[in-house]
Chain A
Amino acid sequence: MLDCGMHMGFNDDRRFPDFSYITQNGRLTDFLDCVIISHFHLDHCGALPYFSEMVGYDGPIYMTPPTQAICPILLEDYRKIAVDKKGEANFFTSQMIKDCMKKVVAVHLHQTVQVDDELEIKAYYAGHVLGAAMFQIKVGSESVVYTGDYNMTPDRHLGAAWIDRCRPNLLITESTYATTIRDSKRCRERDFLKKVHETVERGGKVLIPVFALGRAQELCILLETFWERMNLKAPIYFSTGLTEKANHYYKLFITWTNQKIRKTFVQRNMFEFKHIKAFDRAFADNPGPMVVFATPGMLHAGQSLQIFRKWAGNEKNMVIMPGYCVQGTVGHKILSGQRKLEMEGRQVLEVKMQVEYMSFSAHADAKGIMQLIGQAEPEHVLLVHGEAKKMEFLKQKIEQEFRVNCYMPANGETVTLPTSPSIPVGISLGLLKREMAQGLLPDAKKPRLLQGTLIMKDSNFRLVSSEQALKELGLAEHQLRFTCRVHLHDARKEQETVMRVYSHLKSILKDHCVQHLPDGSVTVESILIQAAAHSEDPGTKVLLVSWTYQDEELGSYLTSLLKKGLPQAPS
């Protein structure tokens, strides 16, 4: 099972995946070999404790170490908002999160993990967020690559996704920005800073709803350096206690960030911020400009929503949405232009503050998706994690450019892909070397044929020479030999007839080894030709052509050739 996410837009059953698609009766553990989590965002791991502890799954769950570290914290955060703040019942508990995390096995980049005798998985760097990974899933020579969410351009704290030319049968890729070709990162950053700066200059407050880990750190690095350069004084706050902890994770998992940060971390750790301070709930009512990073990112609950309610009425203020918002969330509503929001308790909130969207979420854009397909060279592509209309466009583009089949199944739909794997067998080195030595000069017209016997015993397949196969099985060779009598009209002595046969064959069979032996016989390769006098007719000679079944074709050819008679000897 690839990822186990939750839907942010729902508060009922639809929030979690419908696991009855996997099995209606019977344990999930019997149906799944393993679960792979690509990164710590809740739309990829939010249903994990529900799945493993409430529905019931005891098999292995694979994720990278940063995901393993951060995932339980976000799950706990999410649980608190759902249960403690909204009072939802029938939700997973803290203990369930802990029990679920005990089933996790850490996977390191490029490490090949043997899940069982056949199945192996391998993680590749995906950018996107700290610890995000793409996974190659392989059985024998067949493989699937699942990208999770990825980013093909390095940003201020993460590197770019990378995969080798692994030629999977199927590439399952996200397609969040299936139709977007984003302008250069630098422009977006300048835009973002300009907007924040302008708002602060005119005394307004800027709210940036973020998830505690990921985009937040990138934007913090951006604002920190800007504040430093412009010598700005307006305070920047980061909400919740998660911040410091989050930055700590970035410091300890610095090997997962980009080259530049890794190189300089001994001199200066980019995740130690001077200008950014912890936020206190009371600060929201302070007069004067400020910038606040608050969680969660889609304004669907928690502190960011509280601050939004306080500031929404003032047109001097601004909210900047730096990432994608799922349908149903307040974030999605205000981004689609809604200015009157119905809140809990039938209250209507009028939004006068400026609403800005800045695509900072680190997904690959259409160009990036095409780039990844080019890198991996898959046989088929399957699009997920996107909107149907946009996917349709990308699907066509992929099919045109790469001439591969592209699929975009809806929820509940099954896609079946045909594959034709080749069969690995062991060839005896003697046979292979013999063939390779003879096949050094390839002849396009007459390709060499390798002859051998495939011995199949259980799952052990070996290709050996026919002689060896007979020997191994303790069987004797049965020799089948043919001797044909060919009558020739020739009154000369036998020796002379033989000479004529020899020179005739020699002139025709230029590529073959034709020999005249001292005992008076002629050989063509291993075919023996002898001449004898006819018992009754002295003007006729009898040629005995003798060959084994292995030389069948040449033997048959020689008899018919000799039957046509010999050319007249030049006198």
Chain B
Amino acid sequence: MKLYCLSGHPTLPCNVLKFKSTTIMLDCGLDMTSTLNFLPLPLVQSPRLSNLPSWSLKDGNAFLDKELKECSGHVFVDSVPEFCLPETELIDLSTVDVILISNYHCMMALPYITEHTGFTGTVYATEPTLQIGRLLMEELVNFIERVPKAQSASFWKNKDVQRLLPSPLKDAVEVSTWRRCYSMQEVNSALSKIQLVGYSQKIELFGAVQVTPLSSGYALGSSNWVIQSHYEKVSYVSGSSLLTTHPQPMDQASLKNSDVLILTGLTQIPTANPDGMVGEFCSNLALTVRNGGNVLVPCYPSGVIYDLLECLYQYIDSAGLSNVPFYFISPVANSSLEFSQIFAEWLCHNKQTKVYLPEPPFPHAELIQTNKLKHYPSIHGDFSNDFRQPCVVFTGHPSLRFGDVVHFLELWGKSSLNTVIFTEPDFSYLEALAPYQPLAMKCIYCPIDTRLNFIQVSNLLKEVQPLHVVCPEQYTQPPPTQSHRMDLMIDCQPPAMSYHRAEVLALPFKRRYEKIEIMPELADSLVPIEIKPGISLATVSAVLHTKDNKHVLQPPPRPTQPTSGKKRKRVSDDIPDCKVLKPLLSGSIPVEQFVQTLEKHGFSDIKVEDTAKGHIVLLQEAETLIQIEEDSTHIICDSDEMLRVRLRDLVLKFLQKF
């Protein structure tokens, strides 16, 4: 069993597991941190951005002039932003049988894999994962396509050029694999390959392996996967949460007794407490608005935003914010809010019971009804008429490189009355803000990452007790910025096996057994013998049939009666098939009883001699000699077949067959 690791990003994993005869891809996350190296795409022409000075090499060579721009000491690529794809060369991706998706954040590279590698398999995901994943992709494509940019820079990627560039461009990895965003057509084609599954559904793959999604508690429809055969079990844990937010709680019990547990998608901010962060978010928001400023919340169109809206729903009246407009701007804002209300089965218990009343599970329905929350597809159109300040705007993209958020940063950045609050943990907020510097706007960083922290992981591992743990290398050492925090790493016995991008791991796994079915007719013919108390044995002689990876034992065919006829027999018909072996024997032969038995069967003139290791029984008349020792019997006789067979059967009576 092998694990091919295609992504270096621990929360956006992409691994391929070879297990029995199947090739299973686990998630296909897209590393979007690469976009931080690019200039933002403004919705409205921005004089500031277009007037940034070019950056050129020290030797005065100016061929990079058009590609690189400088802003407050940082250098950016002036081009259509590009994403860092999973490794596509490590394994032939056309051999992948299935792709298992754990949550909607971990499927963003799907179109690259399904459309351009010869992939012909099936993708499995839950319905919310598919629907919200589609929204995330739609938003991304929309953000990038609605601001067409002529330029696609490539000179800077040249290895000899790249190493002359300043950090972080100099250190950017795998730049040759960076790709532009896919099209909506590719998204639709990729998503059409998804087959919907429900939690605890058992899915058979080629009769060899069974895969099952389990609730992971992190997002709507998010799942961990159990991949098992009858004797082996691999658990794939990705993006799980033990906090009670809106999704169904995590199913831990079903992860027990795993041979291998692959652990990815832990919290990216292990030192921050999500509850505390939500409190901070609310108080900073209120403070800014009370002072007449605007609040900008860069966010994804689904996920934590539901929880934030729910908190605000409870908070705004007591904080005196009832008259402040909340705007949610995204091409998929409406769909996201609508979809959140119809996935009752994937929600936590509290929200499910609401649906039985029947009431919408999320209170943002009421915020919309009372006009406190308004949603728009973009800043153009209706929004420009309704726009009132001070206000709170939720919009994407959290990388601050594209989407409506770019416009608001340009608009509000110059005033210190305004605040931008970062809640999404995927991007470093300092790097995200770099191309907007100098910035007068206040910046508050309250990352809300509900995924497992190291204490929870350690408890989880104690609870489910896997034989081996496999995880990204980042989790086996403390974070580089907090190298003294030995508690911020996975601690388990035996130590976790770690992987990095483009590595192939041989998993410590010895398969010993396989399931086989004994047909009822064959089972009827078996004769079990109790060999020790509680242990019975039966020798089995059967025909093996294997079809679709399922093995069946059928009774041996009845020996065909020789047809009585004049047909000449060929010599070869008599030759026995040497492949039909007799069972093994065990036990020992008590000499005295054996001699008595011989006498009973009409042998006389029996002489017994003692030897160093046993006895020799002589049948003098028949010129036959039987050597009997503890673990062996040797019958030496003339070629009298009748006699030999008689003796053989008498000896066998004392022995057990295996």
Q: Which residues of A contact B (CB under 8 A)?
A: 65, 68-69, 106, 108-113, 122, 141, 245, 248-249, 251-255, 265-266, 420-429, 432, 435-436, 438-439, 446-458, 462-463, 466-467, 469-470, 473, 475-487, 508-512, 525, 549-554, 556-557, 559-560, 562-563
Q: Contact partner of B587 among A447, A478, A563, CB < 8 A? A: A478
Query: Are A480 and B585 interface neighbours, CB within 8 A?
Result: yes
Question: What are 22 sample pairs from A and B whose C-beta atoms fall under 8 A apart?
Answer: A69-B358, A108-B199, A111-B200, A245-B358, A252-B341, A253-B344, A253-B355, A425-B518, A432-B551, A447-B543, A447-B556, A450-B540, A450-B543, A451-B539, A453-B539, A454-B526, A457-B535, A477-B585, A480-B635, A484-B636, A549-B582, A562-B639
Q: Which residues of A contact B634 (CB under 8 A)?
A: 480-483
- Nearest-neighbour CB distance to chain B for A535, whole angstroms, equals 13
Q: Which residues of B contact A553 (CB under 8 A)?
A: 576, 578, 580, 582
Q: Which residues of B contact A265 (CB under 8 A)?
A: 338, 342
Q: Contact partner of A466 among B531, B539, B557, CB < 8 A? A: B539
Query: Are B644 and A482 interface neighbours, CB within 8 A?
Result: yes
Which are the 7 A-B pairs with shortest beta-carbon distances? Answer: A553-B576, A426-B513, A420-B520, A466-B584, A466-B658, A422-B517, A479-B632
- Nearest B residue to A455 by beta-carbon distance? B537
Q: Contact partner of A426 among B516, B535, B540, CB < 8 A? A: B516
Q: Which residues of A contact B540 (CB under 8 A)?
A: 450-454, 463
Q: Which of B611-632 contact A (CB under 8 A)?
A: 630-632
- Nearest A residue to B360 by beta-carbon distance? A252
Q: Which of B519-561 contact A (CB under 8 A)?
A: 519-520, 523, 526, 528, 531-532, 534-544, 546, 551-553, 556-557
- Nearest B residue to A468 by beta-carbon distance? B658
Given contacts A424-B515, A484-B638, are A478 and B631 in contact (CB under 8 A)? Answer: yes
Q: Which residues of B contact A68 (CB under 8 A)?
A: 356
Give B353-396 as 1s and 0s: 1 = Cβ < 8 Å from A's Cβ atoms. 00110101100000000000000000000000000000000000
Q: Which residues of B contact A (CB under 8 A)?
A: 127, 197-202, 212, 230-231, 334-335, 338-339, 341-345, 352, 355-356, 358, 360-361, 511-520, 523, 526, 528, 531-532, 534-544, 546, 551-553, 556-557, 571-572, 574-589, 630-639, 641, 644, 648, 651-652, 655, 658
Q: Which residues of B contact A486 (CB under 8 A)?
A: 639
- Nearest B residue to A552 by beta-carbon distance? B582
Interface residues of chain A: helix, strand, loop or mixed (majority): mixed
- Nearest-neighbour CB distance to chain B for A167, whole angstroms, equals 13
Cα of A68 to Cα of B638 in the assembled complex, Å? 84
Q: Which residues of A contact B520 (CB under 8 A)?
A: 420-423
Q: Contact partner of A108 among B345, B515, B580, B584, CB < 8 A? A: B345
Q: Contact partner of B541 among A428, A451, A554, CB < 8 A? A: A451
Cα of A473 to Cα of B529 in the assembled complex, Å? 14
Q: Which residues of B contact A467 (CB under 8 A)?
A: 584
Most chain A C-beta atoms within 10 Å of own C-beta, residue among B341, B360, B518: B518
Given contacts A447-B556, A485-B637, A485-B638, are A266 and B334 in contact (CB under 8 A)? Answer: yes
Q: Which residues of A contact B648 (CB under 8 A)?
A: 480, 482, 549, 552
Q: Which residues of B contact A562 (CB under 8 A)?
A: 639
- Nearest-neighbour CB distance to chain A for B328, whole angstroms, equals 15
Given contacts A265-B338, A452-B540, are A106 and B655 in contact (CB under 8 A)? Answer: no
Query: Are B516 and A427 interface neighbours, CB within 8 A?
Result: yes
Q: Which residues of A contact B658 (CB under 8 A)?
A: 453, 466, 469-470
Q: Which residues of A contact B632 (CB under 8 A)?
A: 478-481
- Nearest B residue to A462 by beta-carbon distance? B513
Cα of A457 to Cα of B528 in the assembled complex, Å? 11
- Nearest-neighbour CB distance to chain B for A504, whole angstroms, equals 11
Cα of A81 to Cα of B506 in the assembled complex, Å? 68
- Nearest B residue to A475 by beta-carbon distance? B586
- Nearest-neighbour CB distance to chain A for B548, whole angstroms, equals 13
Q: Which residues of B contact A449 (CB under 8 A)?
A: 541-543, 556, 579-580
- Nearest A residue to B625 by beta-carbon distance? A483
Cα of A478 to Cα of B586 in the assembled complex, Å? 5
Q: Which residues of A contact B636 (CB under 8 A)?
A: 482-485
Most chain B C-beta atoms within 10 Å of own C-beta, residue among A253, A454, A476, A486: A454
Q: Which residues of B contact A473 (CB under 8 A)?
A: 531-532, 535, 537
- Nearest B residue to A255 by beta-carbon distance? B342
Query: Are A453 and B631 interface neighbours, CB within 8 A?
Result: no
Query: Are B517 and A423 interface neighbours, CB within 8 A?
Result: yes
Query: Are A106 and B345 interface neighbours, CB within 8 A?
Result: yes
Q: Contact partner of A456 among B197, B515, B535, B637, CB < 8 A? A: B535
Q: Which residues of B contact A477 (CB under 8 A)?
A: 584-586, 631
Query: Are B518 and A479 interface neighbours, CB within 8 A?
Result: no
Query: Are B574 and A557 interface neighbours, CB within 8 A?
Result: yes
- Nearest-neighbour CB distance to chain A for B539, whole angstroms, equals 6
Apart from A252-B360, A429-B512, A550-B582, 18 more pairs, CB < 8 Å: A68-B356, A422-B520, A432-B544, A438-B579, A453-B658, A456-B538, A457-B536, A470-B586, A476-B630, A477-B586, A481-B632, A482-B644, A484-B644, A511-B575, A512-B578, A552-B648, A554-B576, A562-B639
Query: Are B543 and A453 interface neighbours, CB within 8 A?
Result: no
Q: Which residues of B contact A452 (CB under 8 A)?
A: 539-540
Query: Are A111 and B201 interface neighbours, CB within 8 A?
Result: yes
Given contacts A432-B551, A447-B557, A482-B644, are A456 and B584 in contact (CB under 8 A)? Answer: no
Q: Which residues of B contact A454 (CB under 8 A)?
A: 526, 528, 537-540
Query: Are B577 and A446 interface neighbours, CB within 8 A?
Result: yes
- Nearest B residue to A120 by beta-carbon distance? B202
- Nearest B residue to A508 by beta-carbon distance? B571
Query: Are B583 and A466 interface neighbours, CB within 8 A?
Result: yes
Q: Which residues of A contact B197 (CB under 8 A)?
A: 110
Cα of A28 to Cα of B563 in the assembled complex, Å? 62
Query: Are B342 and A252 interface neighbours, CB within 8 A?
Result: yes
Query: Are B513 and A429 interface neighbours, CB within 8 A?
Result: yes
Q: Which residues of B contact A451 (CB under 8 A)?
A: 539-541, 580-581, 583
Query: Are B572 and A508 interface neighbours, CB within 8 A?
Result: yes
- Nearest A residue to B645 by beta-carbon distance? A556
- Nearest-neighbour CB distance to chain A for B208, whole angstroms, equals 13
Most chain B C-beta atoms within 10 Å of own C-beta, residue among A65, A252, A510: A252
Q: Which residues of A contact B511 (CB under 8 A)?
A: 429
Q: Which residues of A contact B557 (CB under 8 A)?
A: 447
Most chain B C-beta atoms within 10 Å of own C-beta, residue among A424, A435, A453, A473: A453
Query: Are B356 and A266 interface neighbours, CB within 8 A?
Result: no
- Nearest-neighbour CB distance to chain B for A479, whole angstroms, equals 4
- Nearest-neighbour CB distance to chain B for A469, whole angstroms, equals 5
Cα of A551 to Cα of B517 in the assembled complex, Å? 28
Cα of A108 to Cα of B552 in the assembled complex, Å? 33
Q: Contact partner of B355 among A112, A252, A420, CB < 8 A? A: A252
Given contacts A453-B658, A479-B585, are A252 and B543 in contact (CB under 8 A)? Answer: no
Cα of A134 to Cα of B644 in the assembled complex, Å? 66
- Nearest-neighbour CB distance to chain A for B192, whole angstroms, equals 13
Cα of A453 to Cα of B557 in the assembled complex, Å? 19
Query: Are B342 and A478 interface neighbours, CB within 8 A?
Result: no
- Nearest-neighbour CB distance to chain B for A360, whole angstroms, equals 25
Q: Which residues of B contact A509 (CB under 8 A)?
A: 575
Q: Which residues of A contact B519 (CB under 8 A)?
A: 422
Q: Which residues of A contact B344 (CB under 8 A)?
A: 65, 252-253
- Nearest-neighbour CB distance to chain A for B176, whole angstroms, equals 40
Cα of A316 to Cα of B654 in the assembled complex, Å? 99
Q: Which residues of A contact B343 (CB under 8 A)?
A: 255
Query: Are A426 and B514 interface neighbours, CB within 8 A?
Result: yes
- Nearest A residue to B532 by beta-carbon distance? A473
- Nearest B residue to A472 by beta-carbon distance? B535
Q: Contact partner of A266 among B338, B526, B542, CB < 8 A? A: B338
Q: Which residues of A contact B542 (CB under 8 A)?
A: 449-450
- Nearest-neighbour CB distance to chain B for A198, whole angstroms, equals 37
Q: Contact partner of B635 among A254, A438, A483, A510, CB < 8 A? A: A483
Q: Which residues of B contact A510 (CB under 8 A)?
A: 572
Q: Which residues of B contact A426 (CB under 8 A)?
A: 230-231, 513-516
Given contacts A423-B518, A451-B583, A481-B635, are A551 and B513 in contact (CB under 8 A)? Answer: no
